[in-house]
A = this chain, B = another copy of it.
Amino acid sequence: MLAYSIGEFSKMVGLSGYTLRFYEKEGLIKVNRDENNVRIYSDENKLWIESLLHLKNTGMSLKDMKKFAMWGHGGDETMEDRLTLLKNHRKKVLEDLEELRQSLEHLDNKINFYENELGDCFSEN
C-alpha cells in the first residue's frame, strides 16, 4: 500500500484523527488530498510523523517541532537552521539523559533500602 485514509493512518501511527488534523493545522505535516478533498496519507508521511515523534519523545516542544517542520517544508537554504536546531536540541537531550540516569540511581538506592528493610521477602521480580 501507499495511500491511507485518516482512519487507517491514525491506527498506523498511533495518533488520533483529531491530533492528525491538529498537527496539520499547526503546520507539522503536509497531507495530499484526493479529488474530493479527502486526506490521503503516504508512506512518506509516515516516515515524517515517526521522525516528529522521535523529536517529541526527546522532549522537543510542539513549538520547536513546528519551526523544524516549517523549515523542512521550505527549501535547502533552511538546512543550516535545521541542523543548528537539532544540535542544540541534542545537547539538551544529553543533559536530560544524564539527569535521568542520576534520578534512576537514586530510585534504585531507594528500592534497595526498602528491600533491606523488608528483609528480602520482596527481592524477586
The residues of A with any CB-CB pair to B shorter than 8 Å are 51, 54-55, 57-58, 76, 79-80, 82-83, 86-87, 89-90, 93-94, 96-97, 99-100, 102-104, 106-108, 110-111, 114-115, 117-118, 122, 125
Q: List 9 A-B contacts (CB under 8 A).
A: A54-B102, A57-B103, A82-B114, A83-B111, A83-B115, A83-B118, A93-B100, A93-B103, A93-B104
Count copies of this chain in the complex.
2
Provide the bound-state CA to CA distance between A77 and B73, in Å: 58
Contact across chains for B51 and A104 when beta carbons are under 8 A apart: no
The interface residues of chain B lying within 8 Å CB-to-CB of A90 are 104, 107-108, 111
Question: In whole angstroms, how far apart are the Cα atoms of A79 and B99 in the complex?
Answer: 26
